[in-house]
Amino acid sequence: MKNYSNVEAQIMAVMSLYKIGDEQGIYAIKRKAKFEENERLQNM
């Protein structure tokens, strides 16, 4: 997720990880939201 420069691509990656429901994916989403500068991604 951190390597995507396009916000829409990041959102798609987050949604995919969430749908999969993997614990590591959920953890990655939470970490991403905590340190994300983009408001759209913070609120996912």
pLDDT tens column, 1-44: 555 568 888 888 888 888 988 888 888 888 878 887 778 777 76
Q: What pLDDT is recorded for position 32?
A: 78
In a domain, 18, yes or no: yes
In a domain, 11, yes or no: yes
In a domain, 2, yes or no: no
In a domain, 32, yes or no: yes
Domain count, the chain: 1
Write the single-letter amino acid at 12. M
In a domain, 1, yes or no: no
Q: How far apart are CA 22 and CA 4, in angstroms?
A: 20
In a domain, 27, yes or no: yes
pTM: 0.59
Write the single-letter amino acid at 10. Q
Domain, as residue range, for 33: 7-42
